[in-house]
Amino acid sequence: MKDYKITNARIPGYVGMQEIEIGNGKIVEIAARQTTANLPSLDVQGDWISLGGVDLQINGALGLAFPDVQMGDLERLTQICDFLWAQGVNEFLPTIVTTSIENIHRSLAVFSEFMAHQPPHTAQILGVHLEGPFLNPHKRGAHPEEYLLPLTLDFVTLVLNQYTETIKVITLAPELDPTGTIVPYLKSLGIIVSLGHSQANFAQAESAFTSGASMVTHAFNAMPGLHHREPGLLGAALTQPHVQCGFIADGQHVHPAMLKLLVRAGRYGEGLFLVSDALSPLGLADGKYPWDRREIEVVDGTARLPDGTLSGTTRSLLVGVQNLVKWEICDVGDAISLATIAPRHALGESDFADPHIGQTANLLRWSIDAERKLSWQRLS
């Protein structure tokens, strides 16, 4: 790969125009001054340049639900990775929602096999996000109640099995563990604990965060709302400097006005990150689709169960970035950061001081028109 430099670029987290030096396929230097490197250059004329997106909660795509994967689906997973790459996603966590232990183990085995042989220049699987089965039944949302499990050490070890290195994140309801031992145990295994599908009050959530939980799954959804006398799980999260809250910006899961409040409270990317929460019809037309033993209907990109329960979306991650700009919730740089830099912070895989240096230069170029319509394309 040839070395080169990008000039006259705007970059999330930087002020003014920057020059980016690319060497051996990685970002070597970013500086407002011109570098001394005598390299071929690409003048982007004030457009924004960013890393690719990282989606930490995506349930499927192209008709394949991740809890249903079989060893015969390895080629389909390759196609999904290529599709997500075309959607501007560089890395993602396939999410396994609540299902039987047998289904969880089979899916984890498939992803373990796939991750061992991932090709380059396509979206990379960083690990698996288990969303359940340790959820509060009263906040289960679209998760099937019959597969929910008690949050005990015996059941946790049963679910994890030999796949602790494959599981990157697990969503759980902390109030289900009165012993307070499960969060520290999972953290000791290197698994990131995210709180969600929960009725935890402020004290219960604060205790879990103190014990090592560091994420919140789809803020506002499947949890009590913010209240001035009982801030609840989300209120506890927003007061903890180390906690990162995922949120969905499709206009259905959270009203744009509440997103504006969330972004203001969430320290503009230091405590928030975008997710898609996309379901298996991502990339397909609206219509009715099977979902575990049930059926979902997708209308205008929003998926619901027959009883009207909101179950997810079929909008990709970067649509959320475009929405945040269109709704004037935050500026272009902050919106891009929420889908590109912030998820990497949430995983602990980039340095807050300079998250770009050393990253593979699979970059996106963003431009915005006079009507605040944001668009992007891949540079490589």
pLDDT by residue, tens only, the chain of 380 residues: 588 999 999 999 899 999 999 999 899 989 887 765 688 889 999 999 999 999 999 999 999 999 999 999 999 999 999 999 999 999 999 999 999 999 999 999 999 999 999 988 899 999 999 999 999 999 998 899 999 999 999 999 999 999 999 999 999 999 999 999 999 999 999 999 999 999 999 999 999 999 999 999 999 999 998 889 999 999 999 999 899 999 999 998 999 999 999 998 876 557 999 999 999 999 999 999 888 888 888 898 888 988 888 888 899 999 999 999 999 999 999 999 999 999 999 998 765 557 788 888 899 999 999 888 999 999 86
Hey, what CATH topology would domain 4-50+358-378 get? Urease, subunit C; domain 1 (2.30.40)
**Using omega within 30 degrees of 0 as the cis cutoff, is the peptide bond preceding 137 cis?**
no
Note the residue count of the chain. Answer: 380
**Residue with token string 């959607």:** 87
- Give residue 353's pLDDT: 59
* Host H or E run for residue 79: helix 74-86
CB 332 within 8 A of CB 325: yes
- Give residue 310's pLDDT: 86
What are the CB-based long-range contacts (under 8 Å, 24+) for 236-240? 236/200, 236/202, 236/205, 236/206, 236/209, 237/195, 237/205, 237/209, 237/271, 238/265, 238/266, 238/271, 239/206, 240/206, 240/209
| Domain-wise residue ranges, the chain | 4-50+358-378, 51-346
CB 320 within 8 A of CB 363: no
| β-pair type (215-216, 302-304) | unpaired
Q: Is 379 exposed, middle or buried (0-12, 13-18, 19+ CB in 10 A)?
A: middle
User: What residues are annotated to the active site?
Assistant: 277
* Host H or E run for residue 38: none
Q: Where are the beta strands (DSSP E) in 39-101?
A: 41-43, 48-51, 53-58, 60-61, 64-65, 89-97
**Residue with token string 């250059």:** 41
- Give residue 73's pLDDT: 97
**Residue with token string 């394949």:** 64
Residue 239, SS3 per DSSP: coil
Eight-state DSSP code of residue 106: H
Superfamily of structural domain 51-346: Metal-dependent hydrolases (3.20.20.140)
- Give residue 351's pLDDT: 55
